[in-house]
Amino acid sequence: MSIRQSIIFDLFLLTALWLIAIVLVNPSGDFPLNDDWSYAIAVQRMLETGDFRPLGWTSSALITQTLWATAFCSIFGFSFEVLRGATLVVSIFGIFTIYLLTLQLKLNRKTAFFLALCIAFNPLWFALSFTFMTDVYFATFTAITLLFFVRFFQNRKWIDWSLGIAFSLVAILCRQFGLFVPMAFCVVFLFVNLKIFTNKKISLYIILQAILPLIIGLTTLFIFQNWMENTGRTPFAYGNQTNRLWSLFQNPMELPVRFFKNSFIAIIYLGWFLLPINGGRWTVEGKRWMTFFSAVIFFALFCLDKPMPLGKNIIQETGIGPLSLYDTMILDLPGVESIGSWFWYFITGIGVLGGVLIIYLIINVLKNILIQVKKRNLDIETSVGLFFLLGAFIYFLPIALHGFFDRYLLPLLIVLPVSFFIFYNKNNTNKKHDNLENTANWRMYIGVGLLIIQIAFSIITMHDYMSWNRTRWAAIRHLNEVENIPFEDIDGGLEFNGLYFYDAQYQARDTTGIWWWTGERDYVLSFSELPNFKVVKKYKYFRFINQSHEEILILKRK
């Protein structure tokens, strides 16, 4: 086959695997998941009025995601199933882009395909692809932006520079954090064009090429935010994260502690996700001390009884997805049986091992960059690697200081592995070992084995997440349509209460201590029996991950 035919075949195979996974998960059901009810309302309003008016719960810019989904719903009609389909399409575009980005970096098809597959079936990417959350949209738009800026680094063509700016604006108007790409580009492009590397004085032309993407991005965001404010469109929660971040600087002694804690958690998650990709970089030179540090960290977590998941939001002890009913989210009761502790300690071990490896790889990449800087010979590949690493740091810094949600890691799943690939493709410090067939096979088997575990975990637990949510909404429909109970008397969990009763001022008025617009309602959906409630009806569903039957209860206040 020609190169073009080979690439088309790989993309076709990725699509086929993606479609099979969708069928296995069974994403049917006209109901929201997690926070996507708030973003869906913005789409609904635009369809009805032609006006962009996001709900107060929204803290993201959101407009590009809303426009994409509005186009979909204009064709297929509005429903959460259609919104889910719109995200799944964007997701496969993102997977294609990651594959093409890897090829653009002069890496082979095998590496590109394996990286795309690892990200497609990463638990975070996979789970969020079945929602209307902003994360996959933002990661996809970011990946496309990176692709064009990389092409510009390599070829210096205006079309790539212009498209890089265009898609950076698409990313910024999805989430304000999209500014991290033009920020990194500005710094690195100026740096690599300094006189010490080019023997030429840096020109105004180069300066403008470097800073214009950032200026255009900042200006666009400023105009957008002023338009929102002047027309009364600014959501109640818009800018909350930025405001909380600035407030942290009033207590600077707390910042190092927050940075270390959130970075530690993030590194273990990234270690779990990227070990199938990075495992082949486990060199003889670094193997002993990496194994030692991994063992020490794992032993400490074991003694403290702190297995994964260490963060919150998407990945839970029960699998994928928050258990957003009253007993589990408000009262913090177990509700649903967790996956066995042996599994989570196994994942913790993988995460710690992979996390230590990531630190080792970052140190080696930075050492290589420093050597080239000292030699005043910074080539294009190293410049691109520096661009990715700086982008990762700029993106992660506010997350490390502000607070950690596992889903915020998606862009790092793209920029970190490709920066490692660039370095090791140019500077393979272990060539003599790579020539040994049994060593290469061992690495391949480990990587494929870890990937299979991730694929199985993602598909099975996402299937279970959809299953219990379908059961939850069947119970709500029974109460409303059969028992004639009005929605106002039902606490159906975060998504239900938010979709029908969101009120930005609720917390200020509420005296029950419940933050999700419920008050003292007569009927509550729950995984557990609760005091002062009697069980009215039980709905069973099957969890494949535990091979067990679970229940969602309709409770009535006594």
Nearest to 175 by CA among 136, 232, 118: 136
Residue 430 pLDDT: 46
The answer to whether 356 and 294 are in contact (CB under 8 A) is yes
Residue 509 pLDDT: 57
Backbone torsions φ then ψ of 134, nearest 5 degrees: -80, -15
CA 154 to chain centre: 28
CB atoms within 10 A of CB 38: 25
Residue 323 pLDDT: 92
Residue 41 corresponds to which tokens in the numbers above?
Answer: 């309302």
Q: Is residue 419 within a helix (H) or strand (E), and if so which, with residue range?
A: helix 410-426
For residue 325, count CB atoms less than 10 angstroms from its CB and return exposed for 0-12, middle for 13-18, buried for 19 or more: buried
Residue 287 corresponds to which tokens in the numbers above?
Answer: 């193997």
Distances from the Cα of 522 to the Cαs of 237, 553, 557, in angstroms? 29, 14, 5
How confident is the prediction along the chain (558 residues), in pLDDT tens digits per residue? Answer: 788 889 999 999 999 999 999 999 999 999 999 999 999 999 999 999 999 999 888 888 999 999 999 999 999 999 999 999 999 999 999 999 999 999 999 988 988 999 999 999 999 999 999 999 999 999 999 999 999 999 999 999 999 999 999 999 999 999 999 999 999 999 999 999 988 877 888 899 999 999 999 999 999 999 999 999 999 888 887 876 666 667 777 777 788 888 999 999 999 999 999 999 876 655 555 677 888 899 999 999 999 999 999 988 899 999 999 999 989 988 888 888 899 899 999 999 999 999 999 999 999 889 888 988 888 888 888 899 999 999 999 999 988 888 778 999 999 999 999 998 888 776 654 444 444 445 556 777 888 899 999 999 999 999 999 999 999 999 999 999 999 999 989 999 999 999 998 887 765 555 454 556 666 788 999 999 999 899 999 999 999 998 889 999 999 998
HEC string of 187-249 equals HHHHHHCCHHHHCCCCCHHHHHHHHHHHHHHHHHHHHHHHHHHHCCCCCCCCCHHHHHHHHHC
* Cβ-proximal residues to 422 (8 Å cutoff; 6+ apart), any chain: 105, 381, 382, 384, 385, 388
295-304 CB contacts, 8 Å cutoff, 24+ apart: 297/352, 297/355, 297/356, 298/348, 298/349, 298/352, 298/353, 301/348, 301/352, 302/345, 302/348
Residue 208 pLDDT: 95
How far is residue 197's CA from residue 211's CA, in Å, rounded to a whole number? Answer: 19
**Which residue, chain included where needed, has tokens 């404010």?**
229
Residue 160 gets which letter from DSSP? H
CB hemisphere CA count around 88 (13 angstroms): 19
The pTM of this model reads: 0.93
